[in-house]
Amino acid sequence: MSDFNFDIPFKSDLAPTMLTDTSVIKFRCHKDIECFNACCKHADVTLAPYDIIRMKDALGMTSEEFLKAHTVPFQMDAHGLPGIKMRTDDEGACLFMREGEGCGIYQDRPSACRYYPAGLLAMKESEKPGDENHFFMIKEDHCKGHLEDRKITIQDYRKEQEVEEFDDHNQRWYQLILKKKSAGPAIGKPSDMSLQLFFMASYDMDRFRRFVMSDSFKKTYAFDEGFYENMQNDLNLLEFGLDFLHQILFGQKKFDENEGAWEERMESRKEIWELRREAEVQKYQAEQEEAERAATLGEDDKPEGENCNPN
């Protein structure tokens, strides 16, 4: 049995045929082609972490500003693992499309757009320890690039579209998602806090950086000043975030805590836990009293003589 992660940039009901790096495809897109921009008018683009870093930097925006202006959330699995898609207009067109000119952020466009009409298919066989990547083609009626007389291998197409850099930075994130899917019931549904951390570490670098630089984080984890200096770089922060998520989601301890950090955290929460315990006790007592009152009323409502022994 396999788990799959389809990196499909546009809506399609076509079942993919798996390809490899050496597979040859027939395709060419250019500004003079009849269907130029047609794919951008039907955009359903899922974003990976490095996509967001490239785009928000190119636009001179913080991650929070970019997410608010250019993305919409969705759930990637039944546990509510958060995903991000590119925002479109009411007709489904990409907001960065420039009619007759193409993509307004072409040099920093997402990896899914770079792959089109190919797609990345990450797989994990349940009986194998690692994962592997395959590719597939999307053929839609509006796309005339498949009629162009040019043949090219998937490997060369990836180089031409400069997507390898994106894959290098996103690969570990794809692996984490596959692990989450394959682990499934073994790890259960992540807590709301874990899902929030996943969102920050995957998409909202500026907010995640504030979390890492917070006093509470520094009190908990044993990192030196050099670590915090490195966290000013988004790519370093992304790499750390992926390790941190393995610890949060799968319980894989990767980072040492400061001595006494656990005890201090427990002590700080003791009062909260005590208040919760008292509230639960009071709730239980109230329920018991209500049940006793109901039972008493029930006895009083019975017809006279009902409890008498007829013998």
What's the domain range around 198? Answer: 190-250
How many independent structural domains does the chain possess?
2
Rounded Cα distance between 30 and 115, Å, is 15
Same domain, 204 and 110: no
Q: Are residues 142 and 194 in the same domain?
A: no
CB 53 within 8 A of CB 234: yes
Please indicate, yes or no, whether residues 142 and 214 belong to a single structural domain of this protein.
no
Q: Determine the Cα–Cα distance for residues 65 and 59; give it in Å rounded to an integer.
A: 10
Quick check: 10 pLDDT over 70? Answer: no
Residue 217 has φ and ψ, to the nearest 5°, of -65, -45
> pLDDT at residue 311 above 90?
no
- Is the same domain home to 239 and 154? no
Q: In the prediction, which pLDDT does 261 show?
A: 55
Spatial separation of the C-alpha atoms in residues 53 and 67, rounded to whole Å: 11
Backbone conformation region of residue 37, classed left if phi is above 0, alpha if psi is from -120 to 50, else beta: left
Asked which of 125, 155, 183 is the last residue of a domain, the reply is 183
* Averaged pLDDT score across all residues of the chain: 84
Percent of the chain with pLDDT over 90: 58
Inform me whether the pLDDT recorded for 226 exceeds 90: yes
Least confident residue range of 42-46, 84-88, 233-237:
42-46
- Are 151 and 25 within 8 A, CB to CB? yes
User: Is residue 281 situated within a structural domain?
Assistant: no
Specify whether 67 is located in the same domain as 176.
yes
158-210, pLDDT tens digit by residue? 999 999 999 999 999 999 998 888 776 556 788 899 999 999 999 999 999 99
State pLDDT tens for residues 249-269. 888 888 888 776 545 544 555
Q: Residues 127-140: what's their mean pLDDT?
A: 76
Determine the average pLDDT of the residues in 59-86: 95
pTM of the model: 0.77
Q: Which helix (H) or strand (E) holds 64?
A: helix 63-70
First to last CA, the chain: 70
pLDDT digits (tens, 9 = 90+) for 99-121: 878 899 999 999 999 999 998 88
Q: What is the pLDDT of residue 127?
A: 55
231 and 105 co-located in one domain? no
In a shared domain, residues 222 and 152: no
Band the pLDDT of 28: cuts 50, 70, 90: very high
Q: Report whether pLDDT(307) > 50.
A: no
Domain boundary among 214, 231, 250: 250
- In the structure encoding, which two tokens stand for residue 171, read together? 């690969």
Cβ pair 75, 116 in contact under 8 A: no
Of the three residues 199, 224, 250, the one that is the final residue of a domain is: 250
**Distance set, CA 311 to CA 94, 307, 308 (Å):** 86, 12, 9
Same domain for 80 and 206? no
195 lies in the same domain as 144 = no
